[in-house]
């Protein structure tokens, strides 16, 4: 019995020789890394967006735009900074217009459009009593949202796909780019 306990104690202190899942090791802690512009901070996402088939793209893009509307609407009432509320208004308009265009295009092409999700909630939760933190969370979430949306749209534009979809995406990209530039100048 004593030998078994000693074996367990000795083995508990040794590190496993291999991780349980295949991983891509991060080059170093975030504090030691240089700025990696254009690289995802998600360690599981290490590839650039690629063009996909148009119906699948529409499903993802419409869902993304709908979530963008919900997140920005939550900020319209939840942030204390008037400049942030104005930015949230622009973001709502951009996402609504883009979503409507993509849904209309999908219907005309016979592509499936995702069903509305009535219980959808904002991904950014306002923190009562911490308005600066809420404002900062909104800005960071929207910067990430806009960067991902632009990467997704540009990847689809670079592929071989429907000309009408490409036209709609080309019209939407400048609006998302302007919103991103605005978000990068805002202070919580």
Domain boundaries, the chain: 51-114+122-185
Identify the sign of the CA torsion 96, 166, 180, 175.
negative
What pLDDT, on a 0 to 100 scale, did the predictor assign at position 47?
64
**Which of 15, 27, 61 is closest to 161 using CA atoms?**
61
Contact residues for 161 (Cβ-Cβ < 8 A; gap 6+):
51, 53, 54, 57
Fold of 51-114+122-185: Ferritin (1.20.1260)
> With a threshold of 0.75, does the pTM exceed it?
no
What pLDDT, on a 0 to 100 scale, did the predictor assign at position 102?
94
**Which of 152, 163, 150 is closest to 52 using CA atoms?**
152
- In contact, 176 and 93? CB cutoff 8 Å: no
Place of tokens 């600066």: 132
Q: Confidence band (pLDDT; 50, 70, 90) for 110?
A: very high
What pLDDT, on a 0 to 100 scale, did the predictor assign at position 51?
73
Contact residues for 92 (Cβ-Cβ < 8 A; gap 6+):
69, 72, 73, 76
Cα dist from 8 to 17, 18, 44, 67, whole Å: 17, 19, 33, 50
**Which of 58, 59, 61, 79 is closest to 135 using CA atoms?**
79
Contact residues for 170 (Cβ-Cβ < 8 A; gap 6+):
157
pLDDT digits (tens, 9 = 90+) for 126-143: 666 667 777 888 888 899
User: Coil, strand or helix: which one is 131?
Assistant: helix
**Which of 69, 91, 84 is closest to 135 using CA atoms?**
84
Quick one: tokens of 39? 């690289």
CA distance 86 to 69: 14
pLDDT digits (tens, 9 = 90+) for 38-66: 555 555 655 677 778 889 999 999 999 99
List helix spans (H) across 20-130: 54-78, 82-109
């Amino acid at each position: 019995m004593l030998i078994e306990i000693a074996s367990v104690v000795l083995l508990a202190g040794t590190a496993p020789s291999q991780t349980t899942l295949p991983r891509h090791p991060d080059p170093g802690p975030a504090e030691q890394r240089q700025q990696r512009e254009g690289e995802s901070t998600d360690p599981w996402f290490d590839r650039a967006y690629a063009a996909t088939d148009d119906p699948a793209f529409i499903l993802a893009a419409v869902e993304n735009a709908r979530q963008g509307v919900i997140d920005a609407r939550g900020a319209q009432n939840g942030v204390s900074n008037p400049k942030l509320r104005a930015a949230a208004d622009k973001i709502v308009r951009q996402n609504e217009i883009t979503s409507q265009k993509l849904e209309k295009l999908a219907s005309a092409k016979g592509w499936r459009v995702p069903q509305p999700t009535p219980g959808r909630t904002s991904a950014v939760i306002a923190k009562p009593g911490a308005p600066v933190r809420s404002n900062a969370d909104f800005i960071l979430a929207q910067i990430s949202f806009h960067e991902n949306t632009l990467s997704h749209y540009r990847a689809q534009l670079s592929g071989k796909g429907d000309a009408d979809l490409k036209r709609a995406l080309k019209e939407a990209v400048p609006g998302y780019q302007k919103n991103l530039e605005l978000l990068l100048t805002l202070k919580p």
